[in-house]
Amino acid sequence: NEWTTEMRYRPYEKWNQTYEQQLIDAKKNSPWHMNYHIQPNSGLLNDPNGFSYFNGRWHLFYQLYPYGPVHGLKSWYHLSSTNLVDWQDEGYGLLPNNSYDSHGVYSGTALPVGDQLLLAYTGNVRGENWSRASYQLGAWMDQNNHVTKIEKPLIPTPPKGYTMHFRDPQVIPYGEGYLLVIGAQNDQEEGKVLVYQSANVTDWTLLGELDFTNDSMGFMVECPNLLFIDERPVLIFCPQGMEKTVAPYENIYPNMVIIGDSFDVENVKIVNPQPLQNLDDGFDVYATQAFNAPDGRVLSVGWAGLPELAYPTDTEGWAHCLTLVRELRIQDNRLYQQPVAEHQALRQTQTSVQGTLAARQAVVTNTTNCYELEVNLPADSQGTLSFFADEQNNHKLALHFDTKNGKIILDRSQVSLPLNEVFGNTRTITLTQNQAVKLQVFADKSICEIFVNDGEYALTSRVFPQAGETHLFIEGNQGEYTGNYWELRSSS
């Protein structure tokens, strides 16, 4: 059935509860329902928002449209945690209910200020002829998780020379005060990142356009995040419509990273930026949000999904999940990402795996499609690991490795439910040749997150196996592989 604009923007209270319960049940009973990834109770989840540590707990919100697998009237849905793995459902955090956010509480961030948590977000408003207005708004969450919206917008309009495609504010402490980093589009329809400054988080002055590249970033930049790792600035952002000659990517829109040497606030400049890198080299990551956590770590979480694409769970009325929480670091001028160590809390029985790379063999005889796998591949080998495979290995998500030539290819061409094939079925990464490779793989029912060489690369893919596609095979030409396998428990 058609999702009309009227349906997408219908006030939540006008949907009937039986319908909502049906959606919740369909999601719960789905074979693709994940065990330890954050996913919506119903409807569509997109960007992570407000990832923060406040009042003794981790807080995480996400963009939610609860009434179907489409982008409709968005809210922030709230979760909290003590270990970044088990999440408590805190219900809605921010609902669209006033003249500044009537058509959606869009993405933003959170920052503890005094004894409250500041939520900074974009209010989306549609006017006559569906014209767009965008307000940068604030709200205070107190120690009881009670949220009060700040009446006056933090930033009431985009600056002169920019369109209403102005969204996704990130507020960070800087010097004696604060910076706000936001995605923008100028009147020539070029994507930009703007930076504001404030002494008090409510009165903001524009510093200017962030200078981080001489290349065109396409028509819009979404979800910019400025972080500091080893005192170096790191910009994580989503350029839309960027030429592939600027930096190669294959997803509909990429989630990119730039690392600089230093940040020059007077000139609003990332000094000596390295070339753009894909944040994740798999098929399905966008809108990653990261922050400098008070324990010294830099943590991120992404949307395992992409704008404008269809996924098989759409027919069940729900869509998407978040990635695992990752810890970021810089090594050899690359951004490294690994799932936070807290994920070890999910491990159940450990099985060591090993063998000679030859004809196809089971790494473990059968799986629940809910496991962590560590594999060490020898330096001079070629072969394939098959995840979510059927017994005959006809259908699978394949990872082809060639350590001799330093190549890994993630290949979804043989999955039983093909996915967005116009964006290609393979993703390739290049590694040092003739070097042993370490893989850490997290499988969870309909997602696979693969980390290469302690986080040098991450490849995240949704996959939608059919009944019986639970096997895990390895094959290759020569050498010994070793590793460990853990069944993982469900998170709460």
Binding region for ligand FRU (CB under 6 A) = 46-47, 63, 74, 106-107, 122, 167-168, 222-223, 287, 307
Query: What is the rounded distance in angstroms from the CA atom of residue 64 to the CA atom of residue 7?
Result: 15
Which CB atom, from 46 or from 369, has the smaller least distance to ligand FRU? 46
Least distance CB 122 / ligand FRU (angstroms): 5
Q: What is the 3-state secondary structure (H, E, C) of 80-98?
A: EECCCCCCEEEEEEECCCC
Closest distance between ligand FRU and the C-beta of residue 40, in Å?
13
Compute the chain's Rg from CA coordinates: 22
Closer to ligand FRU at the Cβ: 242 or 397?
242
Least distance CB 423 / ligand FRU (angstroms): 16
**Which is it for strands 105-113 and 177-186: parallel, antiparallel or unpaired?**
unpaired
In terms of Cβ atoms closer than 10 Å to its own Cβ (0-12, 13-18, 19+), residue 489 is middle
CA dist., res. 101 & res. 94, Å (int): 10
Q: Which is nearer to ligand FRU, 191 or 455 (CB)?
A: 191
Nearer to ligand FRU, 159 or 307 (CB): 307
**Cβ 52 to ligand FRU shortest distance, Å:** 17
Residue 63 CB, shortest distance to ligand FRU, in Å, is 4
User: Sheet holding 116-126: strands in order across?
Assistant: 105-113, 116-126, 132-141, 147-149
Q: How far is the CB of 306 from ligand FRU (least distance, A)?
A: 8
284 vs 327 by CB, closer to ligand FRU: 284
Q: Please check whether residue 122 is in contact with residue 64, taking contact to mean a CB–CB distance below 8 angstroms.
A: no
CA distance 391 to 396: 10
Query: Are the CB atoms for 398 and 386 separated by under 8 Å?
Result: yes
Q: Which is nearer to ligand FRU, 239 or 465 (CB)?
A: 239
CB nearer to ligand FRU: pick between 106 and 371? 106
CB of 287 to ligand FRU, least distance (A): 4
In the complex, least distance from residue 321 CB atom to ligand FRU, rounded to whole angstroms: 14
Q: How far apart are CA 305 and CA 461, in angstroms?
A: 9
Q: Whose CA is closest to 81, among 55, 108, 44, 62? A: 55
E-strand ranges in 296-364 read 298-304, 318-319, 321-322, 326-331, 334-339, 347-356, 361-364
Please identify, using beta-carbon distances, which residue of 52 and 122 lies nearer to ligand FRU.
122
Q: What minimum distance in Å lies between the beta carbon of 159 and ligand FRU? A: 18
- Are 329 and 229 contacting, i.e. CB atoms less than 8 angstroms apart? yes
Of 155, 249, 239, the residue nearest 191 (C-alpha): 239
Long-range contacts of 332-338 (CB under 8 A, 24+ apart): 333/259, 333/274, 334/259, 334/277, 334/456, 335/229, 335/234, 335/257, 335/259, 335/277, 335/279, 336/454, 336/455, 336/456, 337/279, 337/280, 337/300, 337/451, 337/455, 337/458, 338/440, 338/451, 338/454, 338/455
Choose between 313 and 453: whose C-beta lies nearer to ligand FRU: 313
- Residue 454 annotated in active site: no
- How many DSSP H helices and E strands does the chain contain? 2, 36
List 25, 47, 89, 454, catalytic entry: 47
CA distance 80 to 87: 5
DSSP H or E run through 226: strand 220-229
3-state SS string for 251-300:
CCCCCEEEECCEEECCCCEEECCCCCEECCCCCCCEEEEEEECCCCCEEE
Catalytic residues: 47
